Structure 1
Amino acid sequence: MRPYIIEAFSRRLERQVAHTEAGCDVPVDDRGQRLDTLEELVELGAGDMLPSRRGVLGAGLFAVALTIPERPDVVGRLEAVQAGHARRIGMREVDAVAAMTEKVSELDDQFGGRHARPMAAAFLVNTVAAHLRADASEAVRKALLSATADLLYLTGFMAVDEGAHGLAQRYYLLALKYAGAAEDHLTFCTTLRGMSLQAIDLGHTGQAMRLADSAAAASPAAGPRMRAFLAGQQAHSYAADGARSQALAYIEEAEIAMDKAESRAKAFGSYAPSSLAYHVSQVRYGLGDKAGAIESLKESDRHRDCPGSGAAGFASWGRAPTQ
């Protein structure tokens, strides 16, 4: 009966309605986990796009104990939601999601997440959710899941900037689910890295190290620029925990990988020398070298002013390089 109630409200209001909006309990399995990953997206986005509910969502607690979602569970739940819907989508709809993510990122750069995040949430609820319910080829389906994961990660990143850490964590965990279902290792690793950075900011250095290590382990075949991106975060998290030898080893690994990446490419990627210099600064600061940290920050700024340094767009919200 509950699915029919939700569907009736959604058709009447001409938008996706969450279980909680309709006064229904969210369905869970015998482990207490949600049965509907799409419902989770709708509920989270619906609350974030309404001014009256954003304060409540933003007050959510950051959880130190996390369980990384497993791909088979997510795929099964999404396939169950998709079944029985006649509407069909193609790459045009996927491209629209990717383009919207780019635009939201630009607005975030210009005006901050407080203004851009409600737009992202509304798009997730009113457009992306409908696409996820539609029929599609396997290739389109996986591309849509990947694009959705990207947008969820960006929305979580904006929530971090606003200090809504519990909410950001929920977006990040949902991004992991969709990236895992899409077999999108790039976004999966990027999200774990972002979660590690968030944990550092909140003083949870042990969790930050575990997340940074998980990000590196999830991308065993990473190219040199991606390896620099991940090793830099490992160095940052270990330095924040005071693990000097490991931090220095990881930052050296990042520097070697960056040298390899720069020798192969004519243009900088999204993880550029400015990004590496920033990580060096964080390592120095974490290990007590404040003067060195300042010098590395200045170096980061000098590189950032160079043409093609990757300082704008995706790079501004920690998007991983493609190499």
Structure 2
Amino acid sequence: MERRSLLSASLFSVAMTVPDWPDVVGRMEAVQSGTKLRIGMPEVETVTKMTDRLAGTYDVLGGQHTRPLAAAFLVNTVAPYLRQDGPNEVRKAMLSAAAFLCYITGWMAVDEGAHGLAQKYYVKGLELAGASGDHMTYCHVLRGISVQAVDLGHGKLAVNLANAASASSPQTGPRLRAFMTGQQAHAFAVAGNRGEALRSLREAERSMERAESGSHTFGRYDPATLAYHTSQVRYALGDTAGSVDSLKSHFRLRRSGETRRSALRFNSMMAERQLELGLLDAACTTWNHVLDEYPSVRSGKVDRHIANIGRLLRPYRSTPEAREVHERARASLKHGSGT
């Protein structure tokens, strides 16, 4: 109960930054206390706004801080909302909002390395999206499971999921097409299908060109994200130098205010690949940038990259620069674990 109270307190401290929150808090408290409530669009907006806020907090602080807050909000507020009465269109909108929150929470669980838990959130997201008739969220979740599979090295499964997401996605514009085909390219590359990987990547590039020349947008998929996918495709196909070049392009294309969590993860990838190429000085410089920012982010994926530094630099510890980075990484991990 003490942990639950702590989570609720943290949740509400985050929530206070959402506009018009006093009324939203009152409705949330009514649901949590068991008061009968006929839900309307204000409750749907509560879930949508809170999901946006949690996603933003995750982008800055990582999944280890944020996923428990999202889980508490799902259990204490969203689940009771789903049991309330309301007009059919409101109930469908609530199911859709809950589906997207499940997807975001699953993404956070992947960041923690809790892959089984992530799949439970993803499957529930698919069920809720299907029940609400929300085609877009359904495809979004399928793609998210493909991202999880490809990161774990399950290329064939990742291809099947990415293809399913692409085949069933509503045709709403070139940016969505780039979003889907970029993931297909990465999945094909990990599966060892070079021809399909490069074909999908070219299609993603053409779609992004059309998207950038028009006014239609879809989420945050942009040229910087496509450059990241290009890097991943190149690396999976054996072009380590090309993957580093694409990561550098990613950072040149990133918009101001992009998340620290992804910057630390992608810079960690770049340092590891620079070391593979024998570029020790460049790798150490990149790792030092990562270690400067690392204490402010609690991300399982970033933690695992930091934990690898010592192993990767062990053969180079006679070099002052490598020894310094090695010691910084070890100290950072000790500080993070509280030891």
Alignment TM-score, normalising by the size of structure 2: 0.64
Instruction: Measure how far apart 1:184 and its partner are.
Output: 1.3
Q: 1:307 to 1:110 in 2, by over 3 A?
A: closer
Q: Which residue of 2 aligns with 1:101?
A: 51
- Output the aligned Cα RMSD: 2.5
Deviations 1:81-136 (A, max 9, x none): xxxx9631100000000111111112212222112111111111111111101111
1:131 aligns with 2:131: no
From 231, 249, 253, the counterpart of 1:281: 231
| Partner Cα distance (2:217, 2:142) in 1 | 26
The separation in 2 between residues aligned to 1:239 and 1:266, in whole angstroms, is: 29
Match among 94, 100, 103 for residue 144 of structure 1: 94
Counterpart contact for 1:274–1:300, Cα < 8 Å: yes
Alignment: residue pair count: 232
Equivalence for 2:196: 246
Q: Report the Cα offset of residue 267 of structure 1.
A: 7.3
The match for 2:214 among 246, 256, 264 is: 264
Unaligned stretches of 5+ in structure 2? 9-34, 264-339
Partner of 2:146: 196
Deviation, 1:284, is 0.7
Please show how residues 1-323 of structure 1 align to structure 2 within 5 Å: 87-265=37-215, 269-304=219-254, 306-307=255-256, 311=258
- Whether the 8 Å CA contact 1:89–1:134 is kept in 2: the answer is yes
% identical equivalent positions: 54
Structure 1: 4+ residue segments shifted above 6 A:
none
**Greater Rg by CA:** 2
Q: Could you report, residue by residue, the CA deviation over 1:13-68 in whole angstroms, capped at 9, with x for unpaired residues?
A: 9xxxxxxxxxxxxxxxxxxxxxxxxxxxxxxxx9xx79xxxxxxxxxxxxxxxxxx
Aligned partner of 1:32 in structure 2 is: none
Distance 2:248 2:63 in 1: 26
Residue of structure 1 in register with 2:282 after alignment: none
Higher RCO (C-alpha under 8 Å, 6+ residues apart): 1
Letter in 1 for 2:42: R
Structure 1 residues without counterparts, runs of 5 or longer: 1-12, 14-45, 51-84, 317-323
Flag the structure with higher helix content: 2
| Contact preservation (8 Å) 2:93, 2:132 | yes
What's the TM-score, normalizing by structure 1?
Answer: 0.67
Q: Is the 8 A contact 2:105 2:118 kept in 1?
A: yes
User: Which amino acid in structure 2 is aligned with residue 182 of structure 1?
Assistant: S
Residue identity opposite 1:243 in structure 2: N
Q: Do the aligned partners of 1:236 and 1:247 also contact (CA within 8 Å) in 2?
A: yes
Give the C-alpha shift of residue 137 in structure 1: 1.1
Separation (CA, whole Å) in 2 of partners of 1:214 and 1:266: 24
Give the drift of 1:221.
Answer: 2.1
